[in-house]
Amino acid sequence: MRPWGVLGVLSLALMLLGVDQTVLNVALPEMQDDLGLGAAQLQWVVGAHTLALAAGVLAAGNWGDRRGRRGALIAGLVVCGAASVLGAVAEGPAGVIAARALMGAGAAFMMPATLSILVHVFTDAARQRLAVTIWATVAGVGVLVGPVLGGWLLEHYSWRACFWGNVPLVLLTLLCVPLVVPPCREEEAPAPDPVGLILSSAGLSAVVWSFIQAPARGWTDGVVLAVAAVGLVLLAVMLCWERRAPAPMLPLGLFRHRGYAVAAASLSLLFFALVGSTFLLTFYLQGVRGMTPLGAGRTMLIGGLGVAVGGLISAVATRRAEARWVMVAGLSSCAGAFLLLAGTTTDSGAGRIHVFLVLVGVGAGLTGGPATGLIMRAVPQGRAGVGAGVNDAVRSLGSTAGVAVLGSVFNTVYSGRMAGASGGGSGQGSGGGARDHLLSALAEAKLMAASAPVGSTGGGQSRAHRMELARRLVDDAAQAFLAGLRTTAWVSACVCAVGVCLVLLALPREGRRAKAADAVAAPVLTARPGEAG
C-alpha cells in the first residue's frame, strides 16, 4: 500500500465532489431558458444537492464504519455517475432536481469515506496532519474550480455538458479506487443504530429545508418555522436517544472534548461567512462588473489558488506551532478580507476583489486543515466515518445557513435602497435571490430603452427620456447591490471575529507534552496493523 498514491486517488474523488457543488451555478440562466424553470424550481436545482448531502452524511459515515469505507466510496461514485447521466438527459425540471438530489446522496457516502480512509492509511501523526491538510485544501479548491469549468463548458457546449463531464471522471476514479485504495473496515464493526440514523437524517433534512426556503418564503412564514421546529425537536430527541442507546451512532462524549467542539464550531462559522458572501460576489462580478460566466469563474479561481497557498503554509506551520495559532491567523485573514470587501464602491478596481480573494482563500486554507485534523484526532478509529460525517455536516450546515441568512440580509438592504430610488419597483420585496434582483433591474432597463418609438421629434424626446431612466435604473440597481454586498461583508467579518475569539478562549493549548502524547497516540486513533478487512 502506498499512502501518497491513496491520497492522490482520494483527492481526485474529492475534487469531483467540489466541482459538482458549484459547476451548475453559472449554467442556471441557460437551464432556466431551456427547461422553462420557475424561480422555485431553480432554487431546488441548487438546494436539492445540499439537502441530500446534509441529511445523509452522518448515516453514510456510520454505514462506512460498519460495512467498509472503500465500499462506501465506490457506492457513492456509482450513485454520482448514474445521477450525472440522469441530469444530462433530463427533459424537465423534475429530472434535473432528482439528479441533483441523487448527486448529493452520492456525495454523502463519498465525503466521509475519503477522510476516514485517509486517517486509516496515514499512521504517522505528522504525515496524517499533512494528508488531512491536503484533503481540506482540495475540497476548497474543487468548489472554486466548478464555476470555471462550468463557464468553459457553456461557451463550447450546453448546460447538459456540466452533467456529462462528470461521467469520465467518475469512471476513472472507479477504476483507480479498487487498484489503489486498500479495504478499510473495522474487525469489530460498531452495531447498527437505526433509530439514531432515522432521527439524524430526518432532523437534518428539516433544518436544511427551512434554511433553503426561508429567504423566499420569509423567516416568519408559518411553514418554515414549523419545519424548523420539527427538525430541532428531532435532533434533540436523537441526542437523548444517543445518550441511552446501547450502541450509539454518534458518541456524545466527543462533544465534551473541547478541541473537537471548538474545531467543529469554527468550521461552521468559517463556511457561514465564506460561502454566504462569495455566493453574492459571483453575481456582483457578472451583474455589476459585466463579466461573462467564464470570466467570473476565472476571477473566483484566484480564491482557489489562495486556498492552496494557505493549505501549504498550514502544513508547515502546524509542525512548528500550535493549531490554535494557525487557525487564529486564518480566521483573522478572512475577517480582514471581508473588511476590505466592505469598502467596495462602484469606482473600486478589480485589484480590490483580487486581494480579497487571495486573503479569504489563504485564510480558509490556514483554518480548514488544522480544524479538520483536530476533529479527526479526537475520534476513535472505529468511528472515523461518523467523525468525518460530523466534519462534513458542520460545513454543509454552515454553508446553507450562510447563504440563507446573508442572502436575507442582502435582500433587505437591496429592497430598501431600491424602494426609494427612481424605477425602484423592480427591487421591492424580500423574496427572490441576488441574481433575480439585479438582473431583473437590468432587464427592465433594456426594455425601457428599447420600447419608445423613434422617428418623430416627440418620439425621439421620449426615447431620450427613457434612455435616461434606464441609465438611472442601472445605476440605482448597482448602488443598491453594492450596499447589500457591503452589509453582508460586515456581517461576515463579525462572524470570523467571533471565530477568532472562540479559538483563542476555548481551544485548549497543545503544549509540548500534548504534542508528544498525540504523536504516540495517533497510530492508535487512526490505524492499527491488520485492521483492514
Quote the pLDDT of residue 45.
83
* 465 inside domain: yes
Q: Do residues 228 and 206 touch, judged by C-beta distance below 8 A?
A: yes
Q: Which residues contact 284 (CB under 8 A, 6 or more apart)?
A: 481, 482, 485
* 486 inside domain: yes
* 533 inside domain: no
Considering the domain architecture, whether residues 124 and 198 belong to the same structural domain is answered as no
* 470 inside domain: yes
Considering the domain architecture, whether residues 96 and 206 belong to the same structural domain is answered as no
Considering the domain architecture, whether residues 329 and 455 belong to the same structural domain is answered as no
pTM, two decimals, is 0.79
Quote the pLDDT of residue 244.
83
User: Residues 210, 215, 220, 223: is their CA dihedral positive or negative?
Assistant: negative
Considering the domain architecture, whether residues 148 and 198 belong to the same structural domain is answered as no
Domain final residue pick, 204, 228, 248: 248
Per 3-state DSSP, the chain is made up of helix, strand and coil in percentages (nearest 5) of 85, 0, 15
Query: Looking at beta carbons, which pairs linking 94-100 to residues 24 or more positions away fall under 8 Å?
Result: 96/31, 96/35, 96/37, 96/45, 97/41, 97/44, 97/45, 97/48, 98/48, 99/163, 100/24, 100/44, 100/45, 100/46, 100/48, 100/49, 100/52
* 379 inside domain: yes
* 269 inside domain: yes
Domain final residue pick, 248, 264, 290: 248
Considering the domain architecture, whether residues 108 and 126 belong to the same structural domain is answered as yes
* 134 inside domain: yes
Phi first, then psi: give them for residue 467, nearest 5 degrees: -65, -40
Considering the domain architecture, whether residues 50 and 116 belong to the same structural domain is answered as yes
* 531 inside domain: no
Considering the domain architecture, whether residues 181 and 117 belong to the same structural domain is answered as yes
Quote the pLDDT of residue 444.
54
Calpha distance 525→422 (Å, rounded): 63
Quote the pLDDT of residue 332.
96
Short-list 487, 524, 492, 467, CA closest to 398: 492
Calpha distance 51→396 (Å, rounded): 9
Considering the domain architecture, whether residues 284 and 427 belong to the same structural domain is answered as no
CATH number at residue 144: 1.20.1250.20
Considering the domain architecture, whether residues 436 and 499 belong to the same structural domain is answered as no
Intervals of the chain under pLDDT 50: 423-432, 448, 454, 456-458, 512-533
Considering the domain architecture, whether residues 466 and 449 belong to the same structural domain is answered as yes
Calpha distance 209→227 (Å, rounded): 8
Quote the pLDDT of residue 278.
77
Domain final residue pick, 225, 248, 271: 248
Short-list 394, 398, 395, 393, CA closest to 57: 393
Cell numbers describing residue 217: 418564503
Considering the domain architecture, whether residues 200 and 181 belong to the same structural domain is answered as no
Cell numbers describing residue 215: 429567504
Largest interatomic CA distance in the chain: 90
Residue 373: exposure state from Cβ atoms within 10 A (0-12, 13-18, ≥19):
buried
Considering the domain architecture, whether residues 195 and 185 belong to the same structural domain is answered as no
CA distances (Å), 445 to each of 425, 470, 471, 482, 484, in order?
A: 12, 4, 7, 18, 20
Quote the pLDDT of residue 472.
74
- How many structural domains is the chain composed of? 3
User: Residue 230 is part of which domain span?
Assistant: 191-248
Q: Whole-angstrom distance between the N-terminal and C-terminal Cα of the chain?
A: 14
